Amino acid sequence: MTRVIAITSGKGGVGKTTLTANLGIGLALQNQKVLLIDADIAMANLSLHLGMQNTPITLHDVLLGEASIADCVYDGPNKIEIIPSGLSIESYRKIDPTRLKGIVDSIKDKYDFILIDTAAGIERIALAALSASTEVLLVVEPTSSSIADALKTKISAQKLNCKIIGVILNKVFNEKGEISSENISRMLELPVYAIIPFDEIVRRSFYEERAPFMASGKQTPAMNEVNKIVSRLIGIPIKETSTKESFIKRFLNKIFKHKQ
Ligand SMILES: Nc1ncnc2c1ncn2[C@@H]1O[C@H](COP(=O)(O)OP(=O)(O)OP(=O)(O)O)[C@@H](O)[C@H]1O
Ligand SMILES: [Mg+2]
């Protein structure tokens, strides 16, 4: 059965879109059929994270009844499919976001996973994305403001009958003063599903390469954590790869290749 998962948060800028793009690729690398939907209708940027610029027909057009769904599904990296959102403020104002649920229901049978990138907070756009989903991954940073906002999102999601899979703790520096994962789990009364470190490769892959780090194959701490989420979601054993280990592996492979 298709799993429709909203990637959401209370506070903005915590890494929802980055996670949506990379988790989508991680799932596709495990042969899952994946659709990503940019439901951040007002502030869309999922297609930028995927390096896709030419997407003339978008979710805006479908929500306005001016295009069919098939017209706004694009092929992305690693065989994922994407429904991007538009950038027009004018069309955003006219849109009824509650129509999203009908759109998702009408296409969901084609996929193993639909990941919905949501707007932050609990305004109508974010709530419409939650209504279209059956499960939620709640992204937080280890700060009190992020957790306080996440609590409101958690309550809103539960009211909409979404099952909250767990908390994704992102941009963790492991510095003094950061709230620990145990305390976050206690405060939100939710399991912490993954802990993703602040990772310079993640930041640079967006600003410099405009490509998800999961597609580049670079061994990086964030990649290991995303792979753990993938393993948990599809129920396969978690493969622990330390970045040090893979560096040595790559080094040995290089020497070996050279000698052949
Ligand atoms: N683990 C990480 N390490 C380093 N930088 C990260 C990490 N996760 C996300 N970022 C960076 O944080 C910034 C915000 O990420 P992103 O756009 O995914 O957040 P968002 O929650 O979708 O924001 P918004 O609420 O505005 O939609 C981006 O520059 C991204 O590259
Ligand atoms: Mg975003």
pLDDT value of position 101 = 98
260 pLDDT more than 50: no
The CATH number of residue 216's host domain is 3.40.50.300
- Number of structural domains, the chain? 1
Q: What is the Cα 175 distance to its own chain's centre? A: 25
According to DSSP, residue 236 is labeled -
Q: How far is the CA of 175 from the centre of ligand 2 (A)?
A: 25
Range of the domain at 17: 3-259
Instruction: List, for residues 163-192, the tens digit of each pLDDT value.
Output: 999 999 999 999 988 999 999 999 999 999
Q: How far is the CA of 170 from the centre of ligand 1 (A)?
A: 9
Instruction: List, for residues 6-56, the tens digit of each pLDDT value.
Output: 999 999 999 999 999 999 999 999 999 999 999 999 999 999 999 998 999
Question: Angle, to 10 degrees, between the axis of helix 124-131 and the axis of helix 144-159?
Answer: 50
Structural tokens at position 82: 């994407």
Q: How far is the CA of 14 from the centre of ligand 2 (A)?
A: 8
Q: Which residues contact 92 (CB under 8 A, 6 or more apart)?
A: 41, 42, 60, 86
Q: Which ligand 1 atom sits nearest the alpha carbon of residue 117?
A: 22
The pLDDT of 84-94, averaged and rounded, is 91
pLDDT value of position 247 = 55
Q: Are 138 and 150 in contact (CB under 8 A)?
A: yes
Q: Which ligand 1 atom sits nearest the alpha carbon of residue 197?
A: 1
Outline where the chain has alpha helix (H). 16-29, 46-49, 59-63, 89-94, 100-107, 124-131, 144-159, 181-188, 200-204, 213-216, 221-234, 243-259
Q: How many helices (H) and strands (E) does the chain have?
A: 12, 8
**Closest listed ligand to the CA of 141:** 1
Q: Which residues contact 70 (CB under 8 A, 6 or more apart)?
A: none
Structural tokens at position 229: 């989420």
Q: How far is the CA of 222 from the centre of ligand 1 (A)?
A: 12
Centre a 10 Å sphere on the Cβ of residue 98 and count the other Cβ atoms it contains.
13
Tell the residue nearest (CA) to atom 29 of ligand 1: 203
Share of the chain above pLDDT 90, in %: 81
246 pLDDT more than 70: no
